[in-house]
Amino acid sequence: MSKENFDEMITFIYVSDLENSRMFYEEMLKFPLRLDQGSCRIVETNKGGGGLLGYCVRDQNSDSANNLIITLVTSKVDEWYEYLINNGVQVPEPPSYNQRYKIYHFFFYDPDGYKLEIQDFRDPVWYENLEK
């Protein structure tokens, strides 16, 4: 695979109260909302959308040891999956479609145990909000 930058990067954090976090990030810090996914909200942290923060309510199935996910956004999810496994990166599961969030994605870990995700948004609202 040729070297290719990702389209965007989102840092996801888990929060205990979505409404309190919404008031803090969107009202106090004035971060504009890019996408409301119900239990997750993605906001822009600077003009032009270069920095993105996602905050999500932790569900019962979430790994409590991992409060941070670095998400790399690209349309080439399958290519990245093949590249990583062919280069010895342990990827627990192949890419799959997540109906709840309308994304195609997979997770893996860096050498220090940080959780990374490579994903493609399949929700047209993501791209509509990008063009605004």
pLDDT digits (tens, 9 = 90+) for 48-88: 657 899 999 976 665 555 688 999 999 999 999 999 999 99
Q: How far apart are the C-alpha atoms of 111 and 102, rounded to whole Å?
A: 29
Structure confidence at residue 107 as a pLDDT band (50, 70, 90)? very high
Q: What is the pLDDT of residue 126?
A: 82
Q: What is the pLDDT of residue 64?
A: 52
pTM: 0.81
- What CATH number has the domain spanning 8-130? 3.10.180.10
Sorted by where each begins, the domain ranges of the chain are 8-130
Sheet holding 96-98, edge to edge: 33-36, 40-44, 52-57, 8-15, 68-73, 115-121, 103-109, 96-98
